Amino acid sequence: MSNILKREVPLGLATVIIALLFFDYYVFTDITRNIALSIADWAIIITATAAGVGVLNMIIRTYQNISKRAEYWYLDIYMLVVMVVMAGTGLIGAYGTHPVFEWIMMNAYLPIDASIYAMVFFDIVSSYYRTFRVRSRDSAILFICAFIIMLKNAPLTGGMLPSFIPIGDWMLNIPSTAGSRAFIIVASIGVVAFTIRTMLQTERTTVGVVD
């Protein structure tokens, strides 16, 4: 029984819902449109409920960690306080307008987020340093292309060597765009095939089944 509830029912529901949404995308009828909209509403309701359950679960586990004095238990207290303050101030008035909420967002959340994003650029430099070793014909082509694009984009060289700008533009607009479009089409075919396999119930990983 539990297997039927855990696996077969979700797979059956997935089949019906995917088929309905496919149908609604290609064929317009009032009935399917209303059902598709209801399904979208249900998805939002289920997600919100799951988030609520997740928060409750997290509070219980955090409380257990604190009471057992588990490793880094003091960080759990910090997390609980931040969560309560953010949720409390976020719920007062229109979302995100409370001054405390705004202050935390502007002075803590966004700067931390931006700092981590900024770290990407250091990683890019380190990664490029390791990558650009000309060991084969392919890596030589990659190196030359990257060097031209770098000359085009860097303010100093872009200004001093303007002839690289049209070459760089051409490389980005023609071969690079063609390559990325081919890549997107092929990856999308994979996504379509995966969705169809789920609809046909032959892709069972979606319910945690590894055949």
Q: Point out which residues bind another protein (CB under 8 A).
A: 22, 25-29, 43, 47, 50-51, 54, 112-113, 116-117, 119-120, 123-124, 126-128, 130-131, 180, 183-197, 199-200, 202-203, 205-211
Q: Among residues 123 and 163, whose Cβ is nearest to another protein?
A: 123
- Distance from C-alpha of 166 to C-alpha of 176, rounded to nearest angstrom: 14
CB of 159 to another protein, least distance (A): 26
Give CA angle at 144 (138, 147), nearest 5°: 135
CB 168 within 8 A of CB 174: no
Q: Among residues 130 and 163, whose Cβ is nearest to another protein?
A: 130
Q: Among residues 162 and 202, whose Cβ is nearest to another protein?
A: 202
CB of 177 to another protein, least distance (A): 11
CB 132 within 8 A of CB 143: yes
What's the one-letter identity of residue 78? Y
Within 13 Å and on the Cβ side, how many CA atoms surround 173?
Answer: 6
CB of 136 to another protein, least distance (A): 13
Q: Among residues 68 and 130, whose Cβ is nearest to another protein?
A: 130
CB 29 within 8 A of CB 40: no
CB of 175 to another protein, least distance (A): 14
Q: Among residues 30 and 99, whose Cβ is nearest to another protein?
A: 30
